[in-house]
Structure 1
């Protein structure tokens, strides 16, 4: 059953149909279900279902969200450059387009809402409180549209580099939902200069009783990354004392330094 599809026609009426593909494979062997007119149509979205948890002789129901359509194929700027010189503005535009396509090539695994806040150290005359170092407050608000089937979710935070591995923290486990709400705050005592050279790794995990935990998705925030992770990190550093909140896309790329127990 399919629910909540956005209307694609002006009259909000459409003959929807679904194509099934068994991947991976040298070619896509598909099966079409639903609808009658399958010759032409507008692509609405897709979802991939891992079959490793399906047991023999057992019916299993999956509840998934459709993902955004994949980007259209385009000619890479490097291929064009081999044949003819390009004006600098055109080459820059093509390179940005190629860079965006590389980012979108990662599989989206859902979203996470994070808040960042840096509290500077208190002055000596304020009495009590922080001395010398500030406080970085990381808020894990909630996740949305996670691409998992049986999900008991926890978020792990790791502020690196960290030779002593004392900066790893994780939230409580929220059970049986693809849209868990955490509303938790984690605290790191750190100076502004140290924080500017750190990377915050955020990974989301599915906890399975009696089995190894499954990685759902992750994102890294620091000055060494691009896009929203960079903008969020810089907004935190520039706006001392203010809490800055932003949604981030979770991807299937597991940070190299992460090992989750």
Structure 2
């Protein structure tokens, strides 16, 4: 039987039973059971597939809302924020905060730009009274080829030139080389000032111990030697004319007003004080180059000081001193030449008062000896390195084989170096010895030749290294220098 027919018969049967129950022709219990059953049939029934479809639709709706929210956020970041930054300042200006109005005509554009309209320059004169500020750009043309670059009128016009001069003035719009010169911290006009700050110190003489007591308290208003606007100052102290006894304070980093509070003692008899001078040298420490001299203070006539030999507080101006007078230290070595063996012996004995190259106030010095001929290095030797000292003692001999016919063609370049484990080794100072050397270097060399087979020892002051040898002789050819066989 077809399904539609069954549904129709079942529906009629149900209507018939309902009619019988309503008339009371069927027992009440059966009617109640039938009524409950009929009511249950009328309720909607849900299958598992309906529940799955509902959950899926809910999930799709949630994802759609999330994507919509993300798209709104991206649109806000891309469009609203730039628009707000661009237009809101102008709205604020219209509401009450008046800002300078800078039109294109108020700008002095470089004459190398081709699109400069003459009308814009005319409007600048008319609106000049409402402009609060004007922007001037520099003109890059040479004075000899000054001309107006204009698309509509490329030819030079005297009226335009005069109008331009009236707008910009005679001094505006030109490059001034002096404005672009980098201001050096060590410029001569600054360094040659009478005062480079002040030094506060205390002097006292102990008659029982026969010692001059010097306490360096502080320095004030030192000039800046670093590009950061600060300095790394320290102080060296001598009791001249004796340079063997030298004291040095600690280095204070990045300050123009260092406080030292360090005490130093100089053994000296009271009767010698009138012939002595106390010399303070203030330096700026530099790890990668030579130390800069800030200035110096010299104290003499101790007996004329108030309250001396009792404790006397002094404040002296730090005076400028030339960098050429910087004390780099001294080196003692001996020279000995054996003509028969053709052997030149340089004995490095010791050094004193070397310049501090490390921030600890010391150095790691060694000595390098080079044979020079016509400015060329032929051979070189070096000593051992002495750690953490400014007064190293070596007593090391360096031997070169030099024939007698070549002894007048060579010179010696002796350099005291500071060993650096990380970076490059630095030159503390050098000295030259040879026929073409100056003063002491030449005299020492000639004395060696005058007294052969005899060691001649001398102290030599170290000088600044200038990057090339200046003491090499040029007599004869360096190629003729040969090494004789050892005896």
In structure 2, the partner of 1:140 is: 348
Distance 1:211 1:118, change over 3 A: same
- Aligned partners of 1:196 and 1:237 also within 8 Å: no
Distance 1:13 1:120, change over 3 A: closer
- Aligned partners of 1:153 and 1:174 also within 8 Å: yes
Which of 46, 58, 65 is residue 280 of structure 2 equivalent to? Answer: 46
Counterpart CA distance in 2 for 1:163 and 1:220 is: 12
Displacement of 1:252 after TM fit? 1.8
Which of 170, 183, 193 is residue 405 of structure 2 equivalent to? Answer: 193
- Aligned partners of 1:200 and 1:220 also within 8 Å: yes
Distance 1:223 1:6, change over 3 A: farther
Q: How many residues align?
A: 187
Distance 1:229 1:149, change over 3 A: same
Displacement of 1:46 after TM fit? 3.0
In structure 2, the partner of 1:125 is: none
Distance 1:43 1:112, change over 3 A: same
Displacement of 1:224 after TM fit? 1.1
Which of 3, 19, 22 is residue 223 of structure 2 equivalent to? Answer: 22
Which deviates more from structure 2 when the two are superposed, residues 164-173 or residues 219-228?
164-173
In structure 1, the partner of 2:334 is: 115
Counterpart CA distance in 2 for 1:68 and 1:173 is: 34
Counterpart CA distance in 1 for 2:349 and 2:417 is: 15
Counterpart CA distance in 2 for 1:225 and 1:137 is: 18
Displacement of 1:188 after TM fit? 1.0
* Aligned structure 1 segments of 4 or more residues deviating by more than 4 angstroms: 11-20, 29-35, 162-166
Counterpart CA distance in 2 for 1:200 and 1:178 is: 23
Displacement of 1:161 after TM fit? 1.2
Deviations 1:162-215 (A, max 9, x none): 798441111111111111111111111112332222111011111111111111
- Aligned partners of 2:336 and 2:346 also within 8 Å: yes
Tell me which structure has the larger Cα radius of gyration: 2
* CA RMSD, 1 decimal: 3.8
Which deviates more from structure 2 when the two are superposed, residues 226-235 or residues 247-256?
247-256
Counterpart CA distance in 1 for 2:347 and 2:446 is: 16
Q: Are 2:446 and 1:245 aligned?
A: no
Distance 1:23 1:139, change over 3 A: farther
Which of 337, 357, 365 is residue 153 of structure 1 equivalent to? Answer: 365
Distance 1:256 1:164, change over 3 A: closer
In structure 2, the partner of 1:92 is: none
In structure 1, the partner of 2:414 is: 202
Distance 1:31 1:142, change over 3 A: same
Counterpart CA distance in 2 for 1:15 and 1:187 is: 45
Counterpart CA distance in 2 for 1:195 and 1:15 is: 50
Counterpart CA distance in 1 for 2:297 and 2:414 is: 22
In structure 2, the partner of 1:230 is: 442
Which structure's residues are more often helix, by fraction? 2
Unmatched tracts of structure 1, length 5 or more: 36-41, 55-66, 70-103, 122-129
Q: Are 2:408 and 1:175 aligned?
A: no
Counterpart CA distance in 1 for 2:213 and 2:375 is: 57
TM norm structure 2: 0.33
- Aligned partners of 1:106 and 1:251 also within 8 Å: no
Counterpart CA distance in 1 for 2:345 and 2:403 is: 12
Counterpart CA distance in 1 for 2:418 and 2:214 is: 36
TM norm structure 1: 0.59
Distance 1:196 1:208, change over 3 A: same
Distance 1:148 1:33, change over 3 A: closer
- Aligned partners of 1:201 and 1:255 also within 8 Å: no
- Aligned partners of 1:156 and 1:203 also within 8 Å: yes
Displacement of 1:32 after TM fit? 9.4
